Amino acid sequence: MLKTVSEAIEYRRSVRKYLEDELDVEKVKKCIRNATLAPNSSNMQLWEFYHITDKKTLKKLSKACFDQNAAKTAVNMVVFVARRDKWRKRAKENLNFLEDMFDQQEKEGVDVARRRKVSIRYYKNLMPTIYTDFFGLIGFYKKILSFFIGLFRPIYREVLFSDLKVITHKSVALAAQNFMLSMAEIGYDTCPMEGSDTTRVKKILKLPYKAEINMIVACGIRSEKGVYTERFRVPFDEVYRKI
């Protein structure tokens, strides 16, 4: 029986030891498809997902993950990759999608002139302004400019190269959470791993230099001792603020 969202959230734990039971690859693939539905910055979808089922590759990745138990016993892994370098392609794809939608709406008699103009400006002008940089120098200039404009009105301030990296990785992490909850829904287990030699991981997967590893998620079915401890969370009142 499939779990509700709340049940999946409650069920999901970082499982560090898995049974040898194989997973249904198509079910895992469907969970990865759910990952693509995650909210993300400007709908740029600057991500890629590598579903690892090959035993030799799993062994190589386990070594790159320091042979921690979650990696060593995983029967699948999914590597979540940030691809900030694909911003031009993704901006163009977004614009093409919107243009087709506007064309169809115009045929139906809908006035889309204003929305079309805003969309073109957003993906043709704003996205290049945000994502273009040269050794961090352009970002530094944009940061100074945003500071002075911000003295008089609200303005977007996350314009440095490091800011864009954080923004991209936040979007990829949202996709990873979608994936893990989807796996929990069907009774499959996961463990997000940040502990890895990302250079070696990229080499194993033959990723380009500008690709960035967000996290590697070990997948399987939990063994009896797969969850190490009871769940601990700090008191809710310590982190909740109502304003």
Query: Domain-by-domain residue ranges, the chain?
Result: 5-84+163-227
Please report the pLDDT score of residue 58 as a whole number. 98
Helix (H) / strand (E) element for 179: namely: helix 161-185
- DSSP letter for each residue of 22-44: PP-HHHHHHHHHHHTTS--GGG-
Q: Please, which residues bridge with residue 82 across strands?
A: 47, 212
- Over the stretch 21-34, which tens digit does the pLDDT of each residue have? 999 999 999 999 99
- Over the stretch 188-224, which tens digit does the pLDDT of each residue have? 999 999 999 999 999 999 999 999 999 999 999 999 9
Task: Read off the tokens for 89.
Answer: 């392609």
SS3 211: coil
| Cα gap 92→1, rounded to integer Å | 41
| Cα gap 150→135, rounded to integer Å | 24
Mean pLDDT of the chain: 95
Please report the pLDDT score of residue 224 as a whole number. 94
SS3 5: helix
- Over the stretch 45-56, which tens digit does the pLDDT of each residue have? 999 999 999 999
- Over the stretch 61-70, which tens digit does the pLDDT of each residue have? 999 999 999 9
Top CATH class, 5-84+163-227:
alpha beta
Q: Please give the share of the chain, as a percent, with pLDDT higher than 70.
A: 100
- Please give the model's pTM, rounded to 2 decimal places: 0.94
pLDDT band at 82 (very low <50, low <70, confident <90, very high): very high
Residue 193 near residue 218, CB atoms below 8 Å:
yes
Residues 81-92: what's their mean pLDDT? 97
Residue 34's alpha-carbon distances to 19, 44, 221, in angstroms, are 25, 16, 19
For the chain, the first-to-last Cα distance in angstroms comes to 39
Give the closest residue to 130 by CA, choosing from 8, 42, 217.
42
Whether pLDDT at 159 is above 90? no
Please report the pLDDT score of residue 147 as a whole number. 86
Please report the pLDDT score of residue 157 as a whole number. 84
Please report the pLDDT score of residue 233 as a whole number. 96
Whether pLDDT at 106 is above 80? yes
